[in-house]
Amino acid sequence: MNYHIREPKVPTMSQISLTDIHKQFPGRGKKGGWKALDGVSLEIAAGEIVGLLGPSGCGKSTLLNIVAGLDTTFEGKFSIQGKSLTEQIGAGFRIAYVFQEARLMPWRTLRQNIEFVLEAADFARTEWPGRIDKVLSLVELSKFADFYPLQLSGGMQQRASIARAFAIEPDILLMDEPFSALDELTARRLRESLLHIWSAFRSTILFVSHNAFESTYLGDRVYIMSPGPGGRIKEQINLTHIPRPRSYEDSALFEQSKRVVESLRRHMGELVE
Ligand SMILES: Nc1ncnc2c1ncn2[C@@H]1O[C@H](COP(=O)(O)OP(=O)(O)O)[C@@H](O)[C@H]1O
Ligand SMILES: [Mg+2]
């Protein structure tokens, strides 16, 4: 098959820029509320794959929701290539979100699930079949286009949700623990599928994971966050020196994932600095 494989984007300027983000959830009654984020700053270049790791409740999903534009009640500066998210979306910028569960509509086939997002994103109807064939083929689900989600395994449903996310050719793909509900072998295949489809689209990916090895396998960089209340970014680990396509057997991956675990433990207070 002949796909147009995009050249890697040169990470010159940052695409996603968050500066000193504070987020407080309102409290009930007389309680003062809950500080979810306490001064988070990060920069992500176009086409980068960046992981967010940290203990439960440290504000990872809150951060993703801010980038998705689902949460607009925060303090600090958030811009996409120097403009607000609203301006960028008005100019055709697209964001997709993948969750732990596939969240496909069970009464629609895979094809119809993807058509739904293509319609919402205003793609011309004539483009739909080509886009659907391309993404389903990239995640090896071509034969299942006319199946309903419940006729497929959990891993296949999650692959379909990744295909659906890429169908709109998102500028940014957000993923919140996308593989944590799957057994390890299925998760491995899905991570490979993800990187394969990403290599055709080169969307910027910001993902949340609890798995140090997964983050190392996927990421160009990972950010380590401290426990809440008031999650902050404590450290970033660069992984760009591990060549792609990556192999699960690469010993550099094990070395780096050990660093990630050590960093997590240090910021949890388990290891003395
Ligand atoms: N809608 C909400 N209202 C009140 N508190 C919230 C809300 N959403 C999240 N929180 C709190 O904010 C903190 C960060 O949540 P979250 O971003 O979901 O953490 P993580 O994804 O890192 O596990 C948690 O303590 C959580 O209980
Ligand atoms: Mg979460």
Q: What's the one-letter identity of residue 29? A: G
Closest ligand 1 atom number to CA of residue 37: 14
| Strand positions, DSSP E, 74-214 | 75-80, 95-98, 172-176, 204-208
Across the strands, what pairs with 222?
A: 51, 237
Q: What is the DSSP letter of 171?
A: S
Atom of ligand 1 nearest to the CA of 34: 5
Q: 146 C-alpha vs ligand 2 centroid, how far in Å?
A: 32
Residue type, 167: A
Q: Kindly report the protein residue whose alpha carbon is nearest to atom 20 of ligand 1.
A: 57
Cβ neighbors of 93 (< 8 A, separation 6 or more) are 80, 85, 171, 172
Specify the residue with its C-alpha closest to ligand 1, atom 2: 25
What pLDDT shows up at residue 269? Answer: 79
Say which residues have a Cβ less than 8 Å from residue 56's Cβ, sequence separation at least 6. Answer: none
Give, for ligand 1, the residue of 28, 62, 174, 207 to mutate: max count of ligand atoms closer than 8 Å to Cβ.
62
Atom of ligand 1 nearest to the CA of 26: 4
| 197 Cβ contact partners less than 8 Å away, ≥ 6 residues apart | 135, 138, 139, 162, 163, 166
Ion ligand 2 neighbours (CB, 5 A) are 61
Chunked into runs of 10 residues, the chain (273 residues) has average pLDDT values of 46 83 84 90 96 96 98 97 95 96 98 98 97 97 98 97 97 97 94 95 96 97 94 95 93 96 90 59
Ligand 2 centroid – CA 127 distance (Å):
35
> Quick one: which ligand is closest to 176's CA?
2
**Ligand 1, from 23, 25, 233: best to mutate by most atoms within 8 Å of Cβ?**
25
Helix (H) or strand (E) holding 86: helix 85-90
Residue 10: what pLDDT? 47
| CA pair distance 268, 13, nearest whole angstrom | 32
pLDDT value, residue 32: 75
Q: What is the pLDDT of residue 12?
A: 54
Interior/surface letters 212-251, b for 16+ CB within 10 angstroms, e for the rest? bbbbbbbbbbbbbbbbbebbbbbbebebeebeeebeeeee
Query: What pLDDT, on the 0 to 100 scale, is given for residue 27?
Result: 82
Which domains does the chain possess? 14-25+34-93+173-273 (3.40.50.300), 106-170 (no CATH)
Sheet holding 14-25, edge to edge: 34-45, 14-25, 75-80
